[in-house]
A and B are shown apart, each in its own frame.
Chain A
Amino acid sequence: MHLPDGLTLLQAVVSGLLIGGLFALAALGLSLVVGVVRIVNLMHGELVLLGAYVAYGLVQATGLNALLVAPLAALAVALLGWPIERFVLQPVVRHGEEAPLLTTFALSVIIQNLLVFLLGADTRSIDSGYGATRLQLGGVSVPMMYLVGFVVALIVCACVHLLITRTAFGRRIRASAENPGDAAVVGVPVRRLYALTFMLAAGVAGLGGALLGMVFSFTPSSGVEYLLTGFTVVVLGGLGSVVGTLVGGLALGLVESFAAAFLGDGYRLFVGLVAFLVFLALRPAGLFGRRA
């Protein structure tokens, strides 16, 4: 452990916040699925990962700019989300609480291994087009992609926030998250809503993955890391609000950044996980506070 100087700390703060935006984006889908559809989605990490792989594939195949390709990747993952929710998850909900959880676990195993089988276990990363360009702010220097990712994440979070707070669809989502039984009696088509919400969540996750893939490298087994990042953000920021997820993401970004600065890069994830466990034990309401 070494004591970093002021500039390094400032660097850590800035890059931590910027990355945190991406964390929030990557976690947003999980927040929606856990909070609204009420399924603990252990394959969330793989949805994020698929976004990265699809974006990678599209860039390789078409040579288009990675940022242009990202929405397409998001769409692809969203479309995959519908049959998963409708045909694989919905039917097992009635078997109890653990059944959907273990089903998503099984799905994550399947996807991970199919990725290795079909594409190999090599580490990949997406060429963002910004290369090694760095942004200079005073003495602090961060890769340009961090800032781009942060801005995109912010925009998407804002859009999802507006969707949830200003539209009829968002009204139905909020009502179902609070009490699906009552929502149904009031006339909300809850089953269909779950499917649409899952699609939205998958799409957002995919977008997050595509962007993350431009910043960090990934392998078929990166899913677990994305999953735990997602859960940490949700526990830190609270379930049920986009703003909360954003705050949670920024907080986690900072925590990991400081861990790297003080303890070394290898401890980045470790400290994040410790933070997760501590918060989980102290504030389980942060995860399921909205349960009726």
Chain B
Amino acid sequence: MSVATTRRGAQRGRVPLAVIALLAGLALLAALPYLLGTYWQQLGFRALQLFTLAVAWNLLAGYAGQVSLGTGAFVGLGAYAFALLGNATGAPLPLLLLAAGAVAALFAIIVSPGLFRLRGLYFTIGSLALAEALRILMVNLSTFGGASGIVLQASTPPFYALYWLALVVALVAGGIVVALLHSPASLALRAVRDDEDVARQMGVRSFRVKLGAFALAAFLTGVAGGLQALKLGAIEPYGAFGMAWTIDTVAVVIIGGIATRGGPLLGTLLYVALGELLRDLPELHNAIGGLFLLLVIRLAPQGVWGLVTGRWAQRPGLAERADG
């Protein structure tokens, strides 16, 4: 009798409700372009893209325990791969997005033997240095357009198409990660996170586990980068490889709740809402986001999701899981 069964059993009365809510939500999301104008479609695109990044980072940092500050590197790689391959081959969009993700994943695989020699905090700093190095390199390499970047030959699709594309990507990303976390692989992942040495003593091939998580996160991040290239129609290194990607992603996940199921979603909603409130003052938005990040780390390490579910767990009949 697994834990999952216990939980489901206790929540039998609640299951239909959750499923209904989920389906309703999905229907609403899909129908959004019919209900709201292009401004909201753009905002929706941004939120879905951020959600994809958050899901990927949550997997890598929250469940595999590798805190990376190199999100920008993979967004940039994905964006450039999408643009270059698009210009060179004119392949259909979904294929290009997959390719963007694949290039990012490939890069992750190539650097992992070196990068994973760095444990814990070294990995974090190393990932930061890697992202910066890549950015500077791309600024200087004229083959990739140098500082002025690349223009996409294909025309930019209308906003509603971008929105739906982002929706599909976000759903697939969320789906893959949820499936992964419910699979036996999730045990190995969290074991490596909690205590890598003991995990290896239990027979876990920790390098492969870390590599798998890293490659998958890189893939999803790269796809998000491809979306960005598609949306902008032209990319340049400062924006594509910029720190802003990392900052936004980390803030979203930690505020939402790292290593929790609902963290990425909740964090995205809060962060985007905050961004809308401070629409005219983007720096203030970032600064306040940083402040929230600080407060969450100090006062609610499990994030807002953790706060919310913590209170709900007081009710009888809910099996308490350590990983939210």
| Residues of A in contact with B (beta carbons under 8 Å apart) | 40, 42, 88, 91-92, 95, 97-99, 101-103, 105-110, 112-114, 116-117, 221, 224-225, 228, 231-232, 264, 266-267, 269-270, 273-274, 276-277, 280-281, 284, 287-288
Contact = CB atoms under 8 A, between A and B. Distances in A.
B275 to A, nearest CB: 13
Contact of A99 (B119, B125, B301): B301
Given A224-B132, A270-B136, A106 B283 contact: no
Contact of B129 (A95, A113, A221, A273): A273
Interface string B106-125: 00000000110111111011
Interface string B266-291: 00000000000000010110110111
Nearest to B243: A224
Contacts of B98: none
A92 B297 contact: yes
B293 A106 contact: yes
A228 B298 contact: no
B136 A281 contact: no
Contact of A269 (B114, B136, B251, B281): B136
Given A95-B297, A228-B129, A40 B121 contact: yes
8 contacts: A101-B67, A102-B254, A102-B297, A106-B297, A109-B286, A110-B294, A117-B281, A232-B129
Query: Main SS of chain A's interface residues?
Result: helix
B47 interface: no
A88 B294 contact: yes
Nearest to B136: A270
Contacts of A98: 67, 121, 124
Query: Main SS of chain B's interface residues?
Result: helix
- Category for how many chain B residues contact A: 35 or more
B130 interface: yes
A174 to B, nearest CB: 22
Contacts, number: 117
Interface in B49-86: 67, 69
Contact of A92 (B124, B137, B298): B298
B278 to A, nearest CB: 10
Given A270-B137, A277-B130, A280-B129, 7 more contacts: A95-B301, A102-B293, A103-B298, A106-B251, A110-B287, A113-B287, A231-B129
Nearest to B138: A270
Contacts of B297: 92, 95, 99, 102-103, 106
A228 B128 contact: yes
Given A106-B291, A107-B290, A110-B290, A273 B132 contact: yes
Contacts of A95: 297-298, 301
